[in-house]
Structure 1
Amino acid sequence: MNLRSKIDESYWSLLAAAHLPGEQYTEPVGDPGYFGPDSAIWYVHGDVSGVIGGVSGLLLGTLNEPVMHGTNQHSSYLQDPIKRLGFTASFVLGVTYGSTPVADKLVGIVRNMHKRVQGAMPDGRPYSATRSEDIIWTGVTQAYSTLRAHVRYHPKPLRGKDLDRYFADYAVINERLGANAADIPKSREEVEDYFAMMRPRLTVSEETLEAVRFLRGAYGNDKLTQVSSQIISRVATDLLPDWAKRLLGLKPRTPVTPLLARAAGIAITRTLRYGVRHRSIEEAHARVGAPYTPPSAL
């Protein structure tokens, strides 16, 4: 097996270890799904930098303690993180690139799963994956972090109002999952206002720190995947906004730390672009008759 094939195999063994029922990208022919090939979300999610953003979003998401507690109580990610990552990637890719009936089915599956995620914190604070505010927190932290990774590591990132288009696209997913459309941030300015509103409510507990330690660990069944995941977790930490780093106690140890993290981010994204083939994205473009050019590895 050559190097490119090894990189591709290791990447998808981590990201596609499990799939939601009904995920496919070839039918019905001509159906663009929720977004289509000219959308900002197709462009952003078509690059490996999204993986770094996804991990950074999980780290940021731990600061909403009731949401994180609900995930801990009703998820198997601590026991089988690769399977959970696979389901998450299946949902995001399927809803982004799948046809309308495929995206509708995946949304329905996740909404049914969310109905089981409800309860109360030990201090009495409620949590529920069906509450609009909890859906919005999860979606916004992911969209925000993915876009930060895109701007920093994509060879030709979106700029200006195209970044707002991405937030507006991601808002569609949050709305389909049950969030109140009027409350979902849909632009960079609205996202900044949202975080300004949320920051006084964010807390750090031992459970939060345990989740962060876990997310910053190594995953995978082979050495290449484990090393790559460890690098990605450190690069993802660097992507966090300064206020989140301070809350989590993850401020850089030295002024050189961010420089090293960003050099590693450039190296890992270039390596993954060299080796990873996005077959599902290729199939989605073929379904709607649109040309597909993967991001350059350089």
Structure 2
Amino acid sequence: MPDTRVMSGRGWPFDPDRGREDHGFFGPDSPTWKVWTHPTALIGFQRAVTLEHFDPMLAAAVADADGIYTDPRGRMDGTLSYFLIVAVGDGRTAVETSDLLMRVHAKATGIEPITGRRYSANDPAGQLWIHVTGWHSVLKCYEMYGPGPLTPAEEARYWADCVVAAELQTCAPEDVPRSRDEVRAYFARVRPTLCTSERALRGMHYLLRTEGGKGRWPLWAGSRVMAPATIASLPTWMRRLGDVDQPAVVDRAVAAVARRVVRRLSSAKVEQAIVERDLPLTHAVLKWHFDNPTALRPETVTPAQARERMHAAQA
């Protein structure tokens, strides 16, 4: 196995040889573990990184960094693995990874060319958009193409978990939606601030249908297989804003096929095999998760407790 601790140029502190110290923030009985480790999370992730470009500041940051074009596999692997580490990793690893990501983002600043305003990848409003669209997209695709809706109790807990996970980013937990209705209200509130540009549309369409090239053909094929299902999960206004609409008959056909395919792929071994080649760090996190169902301390922790333990380990 390659050294996943330095994969994607990010130097993630994730160590696949280290056991699970605790059950992280959510634990094995949580809907978060169930939803984020289901194969439908791959479709939800493509949905989330596409929607990221609706925020003009984030679109400028992505375009200026140019990473999705020069190293699409590495960038997507690093981003998805971060979400997974927060969702299912132990507390110390999640906090260490988040701290590193914040330091990387602190360097990502510049000028948004349309408004002339300065952007920062750590801006709380942008971080909130990334966070909400990520957690919402993964749940949406789990419902559409996987086992279906969570129970009311599970859904309430899922959104409570979403608030906890937000503590690892710069957005304020009190701004994070706590229910499906609050997610809808959030989208309605920020919608007037969303837009697309030539660079944003390029990024969105590239993530939906990544270009081929040396070492990229599996990613080229995989992105195109998932794209119609991703688009089918979007509301009409998002499709029109992103210029990614498709006929309703395609939506129905794609949804039916996607559900059948997902049922065939819904096992831990198959899911790991799907991501092993093109998303090695994501594969390592998933393998570690499934190989370590129990923890040294079989308990959940808060981000504050995890940070205390991290500092104690570093002392």
Give the stretch that moved more between structures: 160-169 or 112-121.
160-169
* 1:255 CA displacement: 3.0
> C-alpha distance in 1, partners of 2:290/2:167?
27
Listed as ranges, the matches of 1:108-147 within 5 Å are 108-122=99-113, 123-147=115-139
Structure-1 residue corresponding to 2:266: 273
> C-alpha distance in 2, partners of 1:30/1:102?
9
| Count of residues in Structure 1 that have an aligned counterpart in Structure 2 | 274
Q: 1:175 aligns with which of 167, 173, 184?
A: 167
Q: Secondary structure at the match of 1:240?
A: coil
Q: Secondary structure at the match of 2:69?
A: coil
Q: Show structure 1 runs of 5+ residues with no match.
A: 1-16, 291-298
Q: 1:23 aligns with which of 14, 38, 42?
A: 14
Q: 2:81 aligns with which of 78, 83, 90?
A: 90
> C-alpha distance in 2, partners of 1:210/1:78?
10
Amino acid at match of 2:164: V
Change (3 A) 1:100 1:163: same
For the pair 1:259 / 2:246, whether they are aligned, the reply is no
Query: Residues 94-141 of structure 1: CA distance to partner in whole angstroms, max 9, x if unpaired?
Result: 222221111111011111111012222122123212221111011111
Structure-1 residue corresponding to 2:275: none
TM-score of the aligned structures, taking structure 2 as reference length: 0.79
Change (3 A) 1:255 1:78: same
Q: Secondary structure at the match of 1:47?
A: coil
* 1:283 CA displacement: 2.7
Change (3 A) 1:52 1:219: farther
* 1:155 CA displacement: 2.4
Residues 33 and 88, structure 2, Cα contact 8 Å, conserved in 1: yes
Structure-2 residue corresponding to 1:294: none
Q: Secondary structure at the match of 1:127?
A: strand
Query: Residues 10-32 of structure 1: CA distance to partner in whole angstroms, max 9, x if unpaired?
Result: xxxxxxx7474321467555511
Q: 2:152 aligns with which of 160, 172, 182?
A: 160
Identity, % of aligned pairs?
26
Structure-2 residue corresponding to 1:232: 226
Query: Residues 53-75 of structure 1: CA distance to partner in whole angstroms, max 9, x if unpaired?
Result: 11111222211111111122135
Q: Secondary structure at the match of 2:24?
A: coil
Q: Considering only aligned residues, what root-mean-square deviation do their CA atoms show, in Å?
A: 2.5
Q: Secondary structure at the match of 1:236?
A: helix
Residues 70 and 127, structure 1, Cα contact 8 Å, conserved in 2: yes
Q: Show structure 2 runs of 5+ residues with no match.
A: 1-6, 273-285, 299-315
Change (3 A) 1:273 1:283: same
Residues 56 and 200, structure 2, Cα contact 8 Å, conserved in 1: yes
Structure-1 residue corresponding to 2:186: 194
For the pair 1:61 / 2:52, whether they are aligned, the reply is yes
Q: Secondary structure at the match of 2:67?
A: coil
TM-score of the aligned structures, taking structure 1 as reference length: 0.83
Change (3 A) 1:80 1:41: same
Change (3 A) 1:239 1:264: same
Give the stretch that moved more between structures: 270-279 or 38-47.
270-279
Structure-2 residue corresponding to 1:285: 293
* 1:44 CA displacement: 0.7
Over 6 Å off, 4+ runs: none
> C-alpha distance in 2, partners of 1:223/1:271?
23
> C-alpha distance in 2, partners of 1:196/1:156?
25
* 1:203 CA displacement: 1.0
Query: Residues 155-211 of structure 1: CA distance to partner in whole angstroms, max 9, x if unpaired?
Result: 254132422322221222222112112111121111111001011111121112111
> C-alpha distance in 2, partners of 1:98/1:286?
12
Residues 25 and 99, structure 1, Cα contact 8 Å, conserved in 2: no
Amino acid at match of 1:178: T
> C-alpha distance in 2, partners of 1:152/1:26?
35
Amino acid at match of 2:193: R
Residues 61 and 141, structure 1, Cα contact 8 Å, conserved in 2: yes
Change (3 A) 1:280 1:124: same
Structure-2 residue corresponding to 1:80: 71
Amino acid at match of 2:266: R
Amino acid at match of 1:200: P
Residues 97 and 284, structure 1, Cα contact 8 Å, conserved in 2: no
Residues 48 and 269, structure 1, Cα contact 8 Å, conserved in 2: yes
